[in-house]
Structure 1
Amino acid sequence: MTTPKPPSPRPPRSPDDAVRLLGVRHHGPGSARAVRSALDQYDPQVVLIEGPPEADAVVDIAADEGLRPPVALLAHAADEPARSAFWPFAEFSPEWVAIRWALERGVPVRFIDLPASNSLAMGGGSAGAGPDEPAGVAPDEDAATEDPVRIDPLAVLAQAAGYDDPERWWEDAVEHRGGVDDGGDALAAFEAVAEAMGELRERYGDGGHPRDAVREAHMRLRLREARRAYDRTAVVCGAWHVPALAARTTVAADRAVLKGLPKVKAEVTWVPWTHRRLSRDSGYGAGIDSPGWYRHLFGCRDRPVERWMTRVAGLLRAEDRQVSSAHVIEAVRLAGTLAAMRGRPLAGLGETTDAVRAVMCEGSDVPLALIRERLVVGDEMGEVPDSAPAVPLARDLARQQRALRLKPEAADRELDFDLRKDTDAGRSRLLHRLRLLGVEWGAPTRSRTAGTGTFRETWRLSWEPELTVRVAEAGVWGTTVESAAVAKAEDVAAAAATLAEVTGLAERCLLAALPDALPTVMRVLADRAALDADVIHLAEALPALVRSVRYGDVRGTDSGALREVAEGIAVRVCVGLPPACAGLDDDGAAGTRPHLDAVHAAVGLLTGAGDALRERWAGTLRALAERYGGVPGLIRGRAARLLLDDGLLDAERAARLMGLALSPGTEPRQAAAWVDGFLSGGGMLLLHDERLLGLVDAWLSSVPAEAFTDVLPLVRRTFAGFESGVRRGVGELVRRGSGSPGGSAKAPGAAMGFGAGLDLARADAVLPTLRLLLGTAAQAPVPAAAPEPVPAAAPDPAPAAGPLPALAGAPAAGATTIHDDAGGSE
């Protein structure tokens, strides 16, 4: 399609013309006030708005008090809801003010932009962005000022006025301009803006947006229709389009531009929007950095700076910061002084922010982040009445949200659910079903306050406008959330590529309480489990399946069939894991170790003490731990540690296995890998078993110099995984020589690394606090026994040679040790 040459602008119209073109900046409070005053003065018979004509069918809903901005018009392809576009409106949007003005007076409202059926077919819409790419009055407010392809009219006009910041120029010239509400000529400002835009269009043409010619051709056709039917017509559109709408063109030329455009069937409705979404720099009229500040300016008739500082002070006080009335007074004075020094008619957001930082925040930017999030941007979320068109799935979701008292909110919030309560269990089911449908309203998280247990869940919720599109898209699966989730689960099961995906899906079905989907999922699961011979795939699938078996009864679901499949998979893992681990290289062993840990935990959940499956798994671990040839050292060491932790391997046997693994005949890298696997569960063993510590110390000291460089990174990684206290304790033991052949022996009854006996004098110091906690403070204290003498500690031996002290964090010889009050050292 050939882009026509932009028509030449026509001369300014006389005051008695039948059309008034009100060029605005989208979401500009100054423009909104000017539009309201201009409409009052001009009193049009019809109001035309830049927007999709399909919205004419739902514009009357804007008169419903239940429609509270910020809201947006959502247009989507009827057969492909994911192909969608938004046209957002805030309380301070000029278009919203014009719509409300017309509906309150019974004046017809029409949308005149390119139909959504065309723009969606042309690829102009996507979830979260509208086809009208220009933000404000500009095709692209982020474009370079001098770029002849994509220009920013605000930047050009600001530069001509001597400003280096387009936003600051717009605030000074429009947002802080008075006179529109005091009986002055409200139309004069729009004539000045139209003249300025005419000069820019004459120089830059379409500004790098060839689609504007198509849109403006359709706008002119709709404008001609209105002129034929009404004597006075007001058009509210982006100021960039005003010269094109005022141009002299023929009907035939405009229709030729629109001929042959692709088209799809589109549906339009109202959806809630958020201030946070308005502040994102993409899509129609987006990129407003400070929607909360603009809303404040629009709503304040007088003393906007004073009222803003008061709101900031209230927010900081709510966060337990000391802010007094004197702070507010001084911040207002400083903001006014900064505005005067900078030559501004009124303090703007920059001046108020600088004043708040200096006076209320004591120069810190940390509270400013909170102020920006809560006030400058804001967490406002609009509301849409039930009368707005919606897909059946969206109506069912709204009904459940009301029944469960789970209102969508833009701000992030964390909720703790007790699944033993009906309401909380219902909320959990709803959120899990929505996640299954791809509507990520909430995400499970770990709570910092709630207790642990299978009956508790913690969710972090945040509703984004794009989720409305996801709900519409999920409507193809069913008319209710439950039926849609069942259909989606069955489809996902049939299309799953791996066994782990099916077992994960089974777990999600139990969490979402979808018993109708389980037969299909279980059939697919049984078929996949029977045909999949890869033991690693089975090991990946087992944990999710066992969690479903173990915790499914919390929600009252029947998981008997799942248990049979889980036990069958576990048996196959026990049989196939040792052969699968033979001959693995280092990367393969590293990838297998997490599966080994996961299967061990799963078997522990699935079985009890003495269970045949648990005994079989223990035999598998013994086979891995004692198979010296073929199985990598990492896997052998990890299997030995799992057996030791479960009490299935005594200390004598563990020491023997370590001695064999660290013997001179073992290749150093394999020995280091064995140590990594054995100690990766924590280094407390080295603190409490002197033989194991001695074996590790002796082996590390005996590693040949030519192999030490290869071994060191792996050993350092192993010790880096210990807690700092464990590393310090191991270092102290090695420094004292504990565990080494020449080290000092422990005193009888002494714990590893500590002195002999108890210091009763220090123990008596905790008795008053202990009695207070137990509620026995009023009772007479029991006399403490005379403390036994503590034998004097023998002088520390010379630091043990070898690299283990450095790895464990022990002080080197000659280093200064600083002891804190708690008895530790640094």
Structure 2
Amino acid sequence: MTRAPRPAGPLLLGVRHHGPGSARAVRAALDAARPRAVLVEGPPEADALLPLAADEGMRPPVALLAHAVDDPGQAAFWPLAAFSPEWVAIRWALEHGAPVRFIDLPAANSLAMTRAEENEADEDGECAPDADADAEGPAAGPAPIDPVAVLAEAAGYDDPERWWEDVVEHRAQGGEAVDPRAPFAALAEAMTALREVYGDGGHPRDAVREAHMRIQLRKAGKEFGDEVAVVCGAWHVPALGAGTTLAADRALLKGLPKVKAELTWVPWSHRRLARHSGYGAGIDSPGWYGHLFDAADRPVERWMTKVAGLLRDEDRFVSSAHVIEAVRLAGTLAALRGRPFPGLGETTDAIRAVMCEGSDVPLALVQDRLIVGETLGQVPDTAPAVPLQRDLTRQQRTLRLKPEAQERELELDLRKDNDAARSRLLHRLRVLAVGWGEPTEGRAGTGTFRESWRLRWEPELYVQVAEAGTWGTTVLSAATARAGSRAASATTLAEVTALAEQCLLAELPDALPVVMRALADRAALDADVGHLADALPALARTLRYGDVRSTDTAALGEVAAGLAERICVALPPACTGLDADGAGEMRGRVDGVHTAIGLLTGAVRSGAGPYADGPDADGLRERWTAVLHRLTARDTVAGVVRGRATRLLLDDGRLAEDDAARLMGLALSPGTPPADAAAWIEGFVGGAAGGGMLLVHDERLLGLVDAWLTGVPADLFADVLPLLRRTFSAYEAGVRRTLGELVRRGPAAGGPAATGAGPAPGTTASGFGPGLDEARAGAVEPVLRLLLGLHNDPDPDGDAPSGPAGRAANVEEPLGATG
């Protein structure tokens, strides 16, 4: 191809970052001019990384990551997509053998300037700039202007994106200009006019950046003459062509702060490109822009076909006729709106009307999956990385745990070696504050062999990994070191117990002794029973997981046993004289301790608990049961705590139903203030305690509540109503409906409302039969056996007892075996 005649001086190609129209125009201009060297806006320290852009393993979107060596959290990104003009210029230079260099202000200076601005803001008492500021850093002074928005407003457009599409992105569909440089000349003229009016436009750091660009441009001119192409933001073009002296530019750069910085390539995502804050590049539709860049031929038809495929995958009926009609409608809308070509607005309106039947629900899927997109880039293995990142990448591949931009659920079975290794990795990353995975509630809330995670890889995690790299070169060593540091700096007992649980889940054997020493010291010095009660559940869970993961938890068991003993002694006095808020907190602690002691005694029976070599397993349980009995009998204990203690004893079979009814009767007696009685009811049947089903199946207790409620004086009813509403509104709708029907039907003759003590001899409560109906119960037995995978013959050898007891015996064993 013959080179096009070119004016004197370097070829200045002003672009909009991440604009497919600009990218196509840059490629056309470079093909026409064939420069000897290409200069691109970016940090010069990354020049050594530029050849990686031609590597087969490099797949955009990607970003240059720069971070301060002494403070990895001080970082900046320069994102590049396949449709970014800078990326197109870099690839063009590498393909044609032309030298390519970055000419922006060095990252060492920009990171230091950002840090100085943050420190200055902190000293002035102002909010520090966002640590996730983009590569250009925070701006001071007046709000920065958006040049595209100003030009769009001058042209009579109320939407800058629509103006940019009309004058740039859709220009290719109307035919390319004869001279590929013409669009850049027109844009440079517009930016010159804006710079005359707005100056730096609210970007005070631009003067320093542009001075450095001019110096680099002079150096390239001496080496390559005028056959140099510069690809930079259009806003900078007037400054690069300004007639300044070298001395003046050097004076602007004199005395700039500097830090030692390291740079590398990292994967980026379309979703991150769409964010307007933090590291995002601030474009609304990266998926649409990528499509425009890749499908210059018939882009609307190809886009509608892509949308139809997505909706079909979601089981929506979309035919080829829908695609044809949507294309026609998009073209008609563009004509009616005076646009040269259908843009994103027209195609979206057509999709909503034709393919989504006017609904925004399926359209939201198109917005998320296609207009924004879930594309995650890839960098080659040869790209520089901190040692911790390399170790993490190796483990991700070994465990087949690929980082993905789209959120996904992960179910792990810890009895499988690979799943157990995945669990260890995710827990170790949590110790390092690398938030790739978040534990969620799985299919079994208290199961120890299963874990559920929600995974999502965000580009910011590379910064978190770089920060964590200060603790070690591998995930294991770094997590071990950070756990020890956290144990030494912890200020509360609960922090140390939570850390001990994390260490066990992450299997950090070298960190656990350090954490245990800190735990023993904190437990010995802390006399607050509330702190002890908050700490015990985490220890109990840790012991339970230690049994599953075959970890030695003897020292942990001793601490847990000591805490449990101290709680049993100190808890009853601590439950007296509490206000409403304090009583609610104490009720939660009683629940947590009760569950924890159940886990501790379970570990004891398995030979792994704190009493495995000492007293019998039931000793701790008996002492806790005595504590609950004392709580139920003390009038000075808050009503919500007394009610909850009564319910826990009843559920565990440690309190007879008659005794529970007697305690309820006392709590709801006329001499008890209605507010105290309502608090007792909340503790007994409130929240997620399953109290609704208890009242459904025990009309004696329901009758007691009903009799008390109907006897509350009218002037006091308004005071207890909020508490009762909070208690009963937590029940499921079906439970509330059943309770309403039972109350509407009223008590049976001689029932609880009449006697306060249950049905009279020879009678039954309303809605309940006189006993077990074996014929009706037996009818469900075949279905139950099918669900449990049992043999059809309940007793092939004829040894099992007959009747309901025999059937229960046959069902119990498989349930116990499956845990």
Structure 1 match to 2:234: 239
- Counterparts of 2:216 and 2:716, CA distance in 1: 82
Amino acid at match of 1:109: V
Rate the CA distance shift 1:425–1:750 in 2: closer, same or farther, 3 A: same
Matched, 1:444 2:411: no
**CA–CA distance in structure 2, aligned partners of residues 484 and 261 of structure 1:** 34
Is residue 644 of structure 1 aligned with residue 637 of structure 2? no
SS at structure 1 position matched to 2:262: strand
Structure 2 match to 1:10: none
SS in 2 for 1:683: helix
| Kept in 2: contact 1:507–1:547 (CA 8 A) | yes
Note the alpha carbon deviations across 1:336-392, whole angstroms, 9 max, x for none: 111111111111111111111111111111111111111111111111112111111
| CA 1:371–1:686: 2 relative to 1, 3 Å | same
Which amino acid letter does the alignment assign opposite residue 535 of structure 2? A
Q: Distance in 1 between matches of 2:169 and 2:328?
A: 21
Q: How many Å apart are 1:18 and its aligned residue?
A: 3.1
The match for 2:714 is 705
Is 1:256 matched up with 2:263?
Answer: no
Structure 2 residue 461 is the aligned partner of structure 1 residue 467: yes
Aligned AA for 1:460?
R
Q: Distance in 1 between matches of 2:373 and 2:332?
A: 27
Give the Å deviation of 1:171.
Answer: 0.6
Corresponding residue for 1:578? 572
Alignment check: 8 A CA contact 1:475 1:484 kept: yes
Out of 90, 94, 104, the position equivalent to 1:103 is 94
2:666 is aligned, of 660, 667, 672, to 660
Separation of aligned partners in 2, 1:624 and 1:762? 42
Question: In the alignment, which residue of structure 2 is the partner of 1:753?
Answer: 767
Q: Give 1:631 deviation, angstroms.
A: 1.3
Paired residue secondary structure (2:79): strand
Helix, strand or coil for the counterpart of 2:753? coil
Amino acid at match of 2:675: R
SS at 1:326 equivalent: helix
Aligned counterparts of 1:741 and 1:351: Cα–Cα separation in 2: 73
Asked if 2 retains the 8 angstrom alpha-carbon contact of 1:625 and 1:639, the reply is yes
CA deviation vs aligned residue, 1:177-214 (integer Å, no higher than 9, x gap): 12899683111111111111111111111112111111
Separation in 1, partners of 2:367, 2:373:
7
The SS at the match of 1:477 is: coil
Deviation at 1:764, TM superposition (A): 11
Q: CA deviation at 1:215?
A: 1.0
Deviations 1:523-567 (A, max 9, x none): 111111111111110000000100111122222211222111111
Match of 2:692 among 658, 669, 683: 683
The match for 1:318 is 313
Task: Name the stretch that deviates more: 553-562 or 89-98.
Answer: 553-562
Match of 2:14, SS state, is strand
Give structure 1 stretches of 5+ with no counterpart.
1-13, 141-146, 780-826
Corresponding position of 2:415: 420
Structure 2 equivalent of residue 621 of structure 1: 628
Give the Cα–Cα distance (whole angstroms) in 1 for the partners of residues 323 and 564 of structure 2: 68
User: C-alpha separation between the residues in 1 aligned to 2:403 and 2:621?
Assistant: 46
Is contact 1:506–1:548 with CA below 8 Å preserved after alignment? Answer: yes
Q: Given that residues 70 and 88 in structure 1 are in contact (C-alpha distance below 8 angstroms), is that contact kept between their aligned partners in structure 2? A: yes
- Matched with 1:540 is 534
2:114 and 2:137 in contact (8 A); partners too: no
Q: Which residue of 2 aligns with 1:205?
A: 199
Q: 1:114, 1:219 within 8 Å by CA — same for their partners in 2?
A: yes
- Aligned residue in 1 for 2:57: 66
Q: In the alignment, does 2:276 pair up with 1:281?
A: yes
- Where 2:284 maps in the other structure, the secondary structure is coil
Is residue 2:38 matched to residue 1:29? no
Q: State which of 492, 498, 502 in structure 2 corresponds to 1:504.
A: 498
1:632 aligns with 2:638: yes
What is aligned with 2:753? 740
State the 1:329 CA deviation: 0.8
Give 2:753's aligned amino acid.
S
1:368 equivalent in structure 2? 363
Residue 132 of structure 1 deviates from its aligned partner by 2.1
Residue 661 of structure 2 aligns with an amino acid whose one-letter code is A
Report deviation, 1:120: 0.7
Contact 2:130 2:278 in 1 (8 A): no
Q: Distance in 2 between matches of 1:400 and 1:760?
A: 58
Quote the Cα distance in structure 1 between the aligned partners of 2:671 and 2:773.
Answer: 47
The letter of the residue matching 1:561 is A
Are the counterparts in 2 of residues 50 and 113 from structure 1 also a CA contact under 8 Å? yes
Distance (whole Å) between structure 1 residues aligned to residue 721 and residue 346 of structure 2: 57
Deviates more, 1:237-246 or 1:609-618: 609-618
Other structure's SS at 1:261 match: coil
Counterpart Cα distance in 2 of 1:32 and 1:283: 24
Return closer, same or farther for 1:547/1:762 CA change in 2, 3 Å cut-off: closer
- Distance in 1 of aligned mates of 2:789 and 2:563: 54
Please say if residues 432 and 479 of structure 2, whose CA atoms lie closer than 8 Å, have aligned partners that are also in contact. yes
TM-score in terms of structure 1 length? 0.87
Query: Contact 1:583 / 1:631 at 8 angstroms: preserved in 2?
Result: yes
Q: Does 1:552 align with 2:546?
A: yes
User: Tell me, what secondary structure is at the counterpart of 1:98?
Assistant: helix
Q: How does 1:9-20 map to 2 (within 5 A)?
A: 15-20=6-11
Work out whether residues 361 and 367 of structure 1, in 8 Å CA contact, stay in contact via their aligned partners in 2.
yes
CA distance in 2 between partners of 1:451 and 1:634 (Å): 25
| Aligned residues of 1:444 and 1:460 also touching (Cα < 8 A) | yes
Residue number among 455, 468, 492 corresponding to 2:449 in the alignment? 455
Q: TM-score, normalised by structure 2?
A: 0.87
Equivalent-residue separation in structure 1 for 2:405 and 2:134 (angstroms): 20
- What secondary structure sits across from 1:476 in the alignment? coil
Aligned to 2:614: none
Q: How many residues align?
A: 754
Q: Which moves more between the two structures, 47-56 or 656-665?
A: 656-665
- 1:295-374 to 2 correspondences below 5 Å: 295-374=290-369
Greater CA deviation, 695-704 or 290-299?
A: 695-704
8 Å contact from structure 2 (residues 311, 318) kept in 1: yes
Alignment counterpart, residue 693 of structure 1, candidates 688, 702, 705 = 702
Partner of 1:729: 738
Is 1:485–2:485 an aligned residue pair? no
What secondary structure sits across from 2:172 in the alignment? coil
2: CA distance, partners of 1:452 / 1:632: 29
Aligned-partner SS, 1:343: coil
Aligned equivalents of 2:436, 2:33: Cα separation in 1: 46
User: 1:148–1:266: structure 2 CA closer, same or farther, 3 Å change rule?
Assistant: closer
Q: Distance in 2 between matches of 1:575 and 1:423?
A: 44
Does the CA-based 8 Å contact 2:759-2:765 persist in structure 1?
no
**Mapped contact 1:19–1:233 kept (Cα < 8 A):** yes
User: For residues 23 and 646 of structure 1, what CA distance do their matches in structure 2 show?
Assistant: 76
Q: Alignment partner of 1:84: what SS?
A: strand
Per-residue deviation at 1:66? 1.0
Kept after mapping to 1: 8 A contact 2:543/2:553: yes
Task: Give the superposition deviation at 1:668.
Answer: 2.4
**How far apart, in 2, do the equivalents of 1:396 and 1:550 lie?**
30
Cα-to-partner distance string for 1:497-534 (whole Å, 9 max, x where unaligned)? 11111111111111111111111011111111111111
Partner of 2:807: none
Give, in angstroms, the shift of residue 237 of structure 1.
0.3
Report the CA distance shift for 1:754/1:725 in structure 2 as closer, same or farther (over 3 A): farther
Q: Is the 8 A contact 1:24 1:94 kept in 2?
A: yes
Partner secondary structure for residue 525 of structure 1: helix
Question: Are the equivalent residues in 1 in contact too, given 2:764–2:770 (CA < 8 A)?
Answer: yes
Q: Matches of 1:393 and 1:643 in 2, distance apart?
A: 51
**Paired-residue identity, %:** 71
User: Which one-letter code corresponds to 1:34 in the other structure?
Assistant: A
User: Which amino acid in 2 is paired with 1:708?
Assistant: F
C-alpha offsets along residues 235-270 of structure 1, whole Å, 9 cap, x if unaligned?
Answer: 000001101111101111111111221111111111
Give 1:414 shift. Answer: 1.0
Alpha-carbon displacement from aligned partner over 1:680-729 (angstroms, at most 9, x marks no partner) = 22133333334323332232233333333222221222222233333333
Contact 1:750 1:757 in 2 (8 A): no
- Contact 1:507–1:548 under 8 Å retained in 2: yes
Partners of 1:560 and 1:86 in 2: CA distance: 48
Pairwise CA distance, 1:767: 11
